[in-house]
Amino acid sequence: MLAAYACDPAQSRGRRFAQVPAPTRSEFQRDRDRIVHSSAFRRLVYKTQVFLNHEGDLFRTRLTHSLEVAQLGRSIARSLSLNEDLVEAIALAHDLGHTPFGHAGQDALNECMAAFGGFEHNLQSLRVVDRLEERYPQFDGLNLSFETREGILKHCSRAHAEQLERREPGGVGQRFLTQTRPSLEAQLCNLADEIAYNAHDIDDGVRSGLITLEQLADVALFEDCRCEVLVEYPHLQAQTQDRRLLYETIRRMLSAQVYDVIAATQAALEQAVPCSVDAVRALPPLLQFGSDMRLKSQQLKQFLLHRLYRHPKVLVTTGRAQQTVRFLFGIYLAKPQEMQARFLARSQAAHGAADPQRAAARVVADYIAGMTDRFAAREHERLI
């Protein structure tokens, strides 16, 4: 029941290494299965979303975040007759390239790599599925289809896009040079990511005690839903019902955003009438919030930025995480023998590269980016 503007697995632009189709699964189902069985996917369970893994058992990790993105994405995809399997594959893979310690880790690694081409987690997610997973006898990586890779590479700098384009002409880097859009399934994962973290960061933020319901009264999207809940269920006003009030408010926030995206996108599709995925790629973004919800979502993002992500207590752990990453980077670059055997071997092979220093630094970045929070912390302890 796919719409004309959806990605059809039978029309896929294919894989980098041609493979015989699977007898019972579509190309995108196969991509999803490969992602779920990858090592990088299992590591997501011990990687920080906002709160460090050891800070509490109930906080989101990269894994539960990715599952929530997949759930929201699939739900919206089905309403819009988009390809649910592709959305699921992209959503489950979208954060595979994240470093340990969340954005703090990524910023630190990007600084360390400044002289060697930088570090971008989106690009790293693509590196994981294209090169770093070692599971197949015939090729590096998972050999995913073009459409899944297109969705994974959500942002990319011009310099990196040019590099990708040289290696793979007309590939996933091209749209950043031609300023065209990815498929609707990819656009959807982007928005589902935002809807998911806006909601679960409120939940985790309140649970941690770093933000309060009183502060959230300034956030229109939250406050409107909270008032609606209290009109319907006045007994939730009681202090003992705090959790239930919070969950019901977040549940309504999620629904409001999901219904808004579906309605706004349906309207945009009726206007533009794209008859194929390539028509979608040539048009401005069609998968979108309505203008009112866009503003509300931005307000919520700003609130989380100032009240949670930059909360002094979060910044303390952020600072420590960055020190750990910088320390590990310095040590491994100087003493590659401290890395696991396959990274040591790659580091030794880097001597033969056109720019050996740059190649060796990239091996270290790959090694650190692949670490879970707790493995990085253990390595820090061991090496210090």
Q: 133 and 141 in contact (C-beta within 8 Å)?
A: yes
- Give me the residue whose beta carbon is nearest to Mg ion: 193
- Does the CA dihedral 49-207-318-375 come out positive or negative? negative
Report the nearest approach of Mg ion to the CB of residue 120 (Å): 14
- Are the C-beta atoms of 108 and 82 separated by less than 8 Å? no
Q: Nearer Cβ to Mg ion, position 200 or 226?
A: 200
CB of 193 to Mg ion, least distance (A): 4
Q: Which two tokens stand for residue 199?
A: 């909601």
Tokens 């990269």 -> residue: 62
Q: Pick between residue 45 and residue 383 the one whose CB is nearest to Mg ion.
A: 45
- For Mg ion, the closer of residues 31 and 193 by Cβ is 193
Q: Classify 145 as helix, strand or coil.
A: strand
To Mg ion, the closest distance from the beta carbon of 94 in angstroms equals 5
DSSP string, 260-285: HHHHHHHHHHHHH---SHHHHHHSSP
- CB 321, min distance to Mg ion, A: 18
Structure tokens at 106: 């990524």
For 298, other C-beta atoms within 10 Å of its C-beta total: 11
In this complex, which beta carbon is closest to Mg ion, that of residue 95 or of residue 366?
Answer: 95
Q: Which residue number, 88 or 193, has a Cβ lying nearer to Mg ion?
A: 193
In angstroms, what is the minimal distance from the CB of 252 to Mg ion? 22
Q: Which of 379, 361, 366 is nearest to 140 (CA)?
A: 366
Question: Which is closer to Mg ion, CB of 27 or CB of 193?
Answer: 193
| Cβ 361 to Mg ion shortest distance, Å | 26
Which residue's CB is nearer to Mg ion, number 95 or number 204?
95
Report DSSP letters for 296-325, one per residue.
HHHHHHHHHIIIIIT-HHHHHHHHHHHHHH
Shortest distance, position 87 Cβ to Mg ion, whole Å: 14
Contact footprint for Mg ion (CB under 5 A):
95, 193
Q: How many CB atoms lie within 10 A of CB 284?
A: 9
Structure tokens at 267: 């309207």
Between helix 291-304 and helix 242-272 the angle, nearest 10°, is: 140
